[in-house]
Amino acid sequence: MLKVGYIGLGLMGKSIARNILKAGFPLVVHNRSQAAVDELVQEGAQRADSPAQVAGQVDIVFTNLPDSPDVELVALGENGIFTGAHPGLIFVDNSTIRPATTRQIATRLAEKGVLALDAPVSGGDIGARNATLTIMVGGPAAALEVVRPVFNVMGKTVTHVGESGAGQIAKAANQIMVAAQMVAMAELLVFAQKAGADPQKVVQAIKSGAAQCWTLDVKPERLFAGNRQPGFKASMQAKDLNIIMETAREYGIPLPSAAVDMQLYTAMLQSGDGNLDNSAILGVLEQMANIKLDENQ
């Protein structure tokens, strides 16, 4: 049985780690905040005091961290994975970070005989809890086949996109669509209400037609119930859009719609709502239109 390490037990990481543990894989965990570690240790995981300590005793080490500098620090910094790495270790990053950073980390870890997979996920906290995540993988196919039994207890769809960085490119593409859907949903809800129709009935009318999408299937019910808690934090959506725009500038790619979405999420963060769900971008549109969505109609 493969021994697995998991570093980064946030909103999604803790649920992913728990599913790995429930599937019977011996699990070593590390996190900056100890409450999540304590919780998983009570369920049968083993505690580690540093990323190096995790890496030194497992076959596969996962990370799930907020941004590129965090992954770089945990992977390559003092007492990081590089320090504890051994030949044959596989490093898997579930974070969403810059493709360029992913490639740099993979190249450095290769010096220790470590294979690296970038494997960002989509599906939010619900997908993490229910093990229905979509997993986009970049890196060596041979490493993917070793890790696949673990991926299979995390998600329902695992796609090998290509070489190192390709998983992150796919996730960035995913986030372009997610942001566009969140903003479009906010616009249609505001449009419906201000133009004089019941937004709930409008959603019912359109969500089975050409407008059907995951966002309309999942988010309106929460918004109509007055629930704007994450989910997937708006601050993380903004971070992902920043990665998208940085990568677009690097390659000279025009992304006019994503640029507008970035500005809307920036406005949301500046208003102090970054810890709300990414669907709560609705609040920015409400303010612009000078209305408030009717809840619990």
- For residue 7, how far is the Cα from the chain centroid? 14
Instruction: Kindly report the CATH number assigned to the domain that includes residue 185.
Output: 1.10.1040.10
Residues 132 and 225 in one domain: no
Residues 65 and 35 in one domain: yes
Task: From 111, 137, 163, give the residue that closes a domain.
Answer: 163
3-state secondary structure of 168: helix
The pLDDT of 123-138, averaged and rounded, is 95
Full domain range(s) for residue 199:
170-289
- Predicted local distance difference test score (pLDDT) of residue 296: 54
> Virtual CA dihedral for 207, 287, 232, 240, nearest 10 degrees?
100
| Relative orientation angle of helices 199-206 and 214-224, to the nearest 10 degrees | 160
Compute the distance between CA of residue 63 and CA of residue 93 in angstroms, rounded to an integer.
Answer: 5
Tally of CB atoms within 10 A around 111 = 9
Residues 69 and 33 in one domain: yes
User: Of 1, 11, 10, 4, whose CA–CA distance to 29 is shortest?
Assistant: 4
Average pLDDT of the chain, as a whole number: 97
**Is the torsion defined by CA of 42, 43, 45, 48 positive or negative?**
negative
Are 207 and 217 a contacting pair, CB within 8 Å? Answer: yes
The reply to whether 171 belongs to the active site is yes
**Is the torsion defined by CA of 184, 189, 191, 192 positive or negative?**
positive
- Predicted local distance difference test score (pLDDT) of residue 294: 78
Residues 156 and 21 in one domain: yes
Which pLDDT band, with edges at 50, 70 and 90, does 104 fall under?
very high
Residues 158 and 174 in one domain: no
Residues 188 and 116 in one domain: no
Is residue 124 pLDDT above 90, yes or no? no
SS3 helix, strand, coil % of the chain, rounded to 5? Answer: 55, 15, 35
Are 29 and 40 a contacting pair, CB within 8 Å? Answer: yes
3-state secondary structure of 131: coil
- Listed in sequence order, the residues at least 6 apart from 208 whose beta carbon sits closer than 8 Å to its beta carbon are none
Task: From 142, 163, 184, give the residue that closes a domain.
Answer: 163
Residues 205 and 151 in one domain: no
Task: State pLDDT tens for residues 227-251.
Answer: 999 989 999 999 999 999 999 999 9
Percent of the chain surpassing pLDDT 70: 99
Which entry of 14, 156, 171, 207 is annotated as an active-site residue?
A: 171
Tokens in use for 124? 């939010």
The pLDDT of 71-93, averaged and rounded, is 98
Residues 176 and 255 in one domain: yes
User: Of 18, 284, 48, 229, whose CA–CA distance to 128 is shortest?
Assistant: 18
Residues 42 and 120 in one domain: yes
Instruction: Kindly report the CATH number assigned to the domain that includes residue 21.
Output: 3.40.50.720
Tally of CB atoms within 10 A around 292 = 12
Half-sphere exposure at residue 266, Cβ-oriented, CA atoms within 13 angstroms: 8
Instruction: Indicate the number of domains in the chain.
Output: 2
